[in-house]
Amino acid sequence: MLPLWFDGRIVERDDPCLAALTDPTERSIGCTTARVRGGRARHEAAHYARLARDATTLDTGLIVEDGLSAAWTELGAAAFGDGKGIIRVEAHPRESGGLAHLLGTPREIGLEPETWKAARCPTAHPG
């Protein structure tokens, strides 16, 4: 099973530090999912901007760009080596406010579709 990345370090799925996450029934989290190759996410700046905006809108806390880049770099290396994969990064609120907890979850790339479609909306999701 692939490892997780939580607040700056690689963790196993049963690590007690994950208890710091909010109640899973409370879905006020921001997230972004990026295609990663060699520890670099495609469209990094756009992923950071979207996650920072959504985390502010949903009041999940502040996002630090270096933290998000570290999730892709460190988790990408641990999960895929120099290869490619998908990493979802979630921003969870802390009880004390301030910086959001960042949780990175990797997954393998499945069959590639013949064509891709992407859409952006000018308004923030209401949460």
Task: Provide the edge-to-edge strand list for the sheet that holds 101-107.
Answer: 9-11, 4-6, 101-107, 84-92, 30-37, 40-41
DSSP β-bridge partners for residue 41: 36
Q: Three-class SS of residue 41?
A: strand
Q: How many residues does the chain have?
A: 127
pTM listed for this prediction: 0.80
- For the stretch 16-36, pLDDT in tens is 888 878 565 565 788 889 999
- For the stretch 66-112, pLDDT in tens is 888 998 999 999 999 989 999 999 998 887 778 888 999 999 987 66
Residue 125 has pLDDT above 70, yes or no: no
Asked whether the beta carbons of 52 and 63 are under 8 A apart, the reply is yes
